[in-house]
Structure 1
Amino acid sequence: MVVSALVSSWKVVGKSGMGEERPPSHRSKKGGSVGGVCYLSMGMVVLLMGLVFASVYIYRYFFLAQLARDNFFHCGVLYEDSLSQVRTRMELEEDVKIYLEENYERINVPVPQFGGGDPADIIHDFQRGLTAYHDISLDKCYVIELNTTIVLPPRNFWELLANVKRGTYLPQTYIMQEEMVVTEHVSDKQALGSFIHHLCSGKDTYRLRRRATRRRINKRGAQKCSAIRHFENTFVVETLICGVV
Structure 2
Amino acid sequence: SGGGITFILRSVVYQTLVLLSQSEIMKRSILDSVYAPLRGRQELEENVGIYLEDNYEQISVPVPHFGGSDPADIIHDFHRGLTAYHDIALDKCYVIELNTTIVMPPRNLWELLVNVKKGTYLPQTYIIQEEMFVTGRVHNMRQLGPFIYRLCNGKDTYRLKRRARRRINKREVANCHRIRHFENTFVVETVICDGV
Counterpart of 2:31 in structure 1 is 78
Give the TM-score normalised by the residue count of structure 1. Answer: 0.66
User: 1 or 2, which has the higher helix percentage?
Assistant: 1
- Point out where structure 1 has 5 or more consecutive residues left out of the alignment: 1-64
User: CA offset at residue 221 of structure 1?
Assistant: 3.3
Which has the larger share of strand? Answer: 2
What is residue 193 of structure 2 aligned with on the other side? 242
Alpha carbon RMSD of aligned pairs, Å? Answer: 2.4
* Alpha-carbon distance between aligned partners in 2 of 1:235 and 1:221, rounded to the nearest angstrom: 27
Is 2:121 the counterpart of 1:172? no
Task: Give the counterpart letter for 1:98 in structure 2.
Answer: I
Instruction: Give matches, 1:81-92, under 5 Å.
Output: 81=34, 88-92=40-44
Q: How much does 1:164 deviate?
A: 1.0
Q: State the SS of the aligned residue for 1:197.
A: helix
Check if 1:222 corresponds to 2:174: no
Q: Please give the secondary structure, in 1, of the residue aligned with 2:180.
A: strand
Q: Aligned partners of 2:68, 2:165: CA distance in 1, in Å?
A: 18
CA offsets, 1:39-68, max 9 Å, x none?
Answer: xxxxxxxxxxxxxxxxxxxxxxxxxx9xx7
Unaligned runs of 5+ residues in structure 2 are: 1-17
Q: Shift in Å at residue 85 of structure 1? A: 7.2
1:148 aligns with 2:100: yes
Alignment identity in percent? 66
For the pair 1:110 / 2:59, whether they are aligned, the reply is no
**Cα offsets for 1:71-117 (capped at 9, x unmatched):** 110011123447x6766543210000000010000000000001230
TM-score normalised according to structure 2 size: 0.81
> Which amino acid in the other structure matches residue 204 of structure 1?
D
2:135 is matched with which residue: 183, 187, 211?
183
Give the CA deviation at 1:185: 0.4
Aligned-pair CA distance for 1:169: 1.0
Q: Deviations over 1:145-197 (max 9, x none)?
A: 00000000000000111111122111112111110000000010000000000
Letter in 2 for 1:203: K
Paired amino acid for 1:169: Y
Q: In 2, are the aligned partners of 1:79 and 1:236 still within 8 Å (CA)?
A: no
Cα distance in 2, alignment partners of residues 85 and 241 from structure 1:
26
Correspondence 1:209 to 2:166 = no
Give distance in 1, aligned partners of 2:86 and 2:181: 13
**Structure 2 CA distance for partners of 1:208 and 1:231, relative to 1, 3 Å:** same
Q: How far apart, in 2, do the equivalents of 1:158 and 1:136 lie? A: 25
Q: State the AA in 2 paired with 1:225.
A: C
Distance in 2, Cα, partners of 1:123 & 1:230: 12
Kindly provide the amino acid, as one letter, of the partner of residue 229 in structure 1.
R
Correspondence for 1:232 among 158, 183, 189: 183
Would you identify which runs of 4 or more consecutive aligned residues in structure 1 move more than 4 Å?
Answer: 84-88
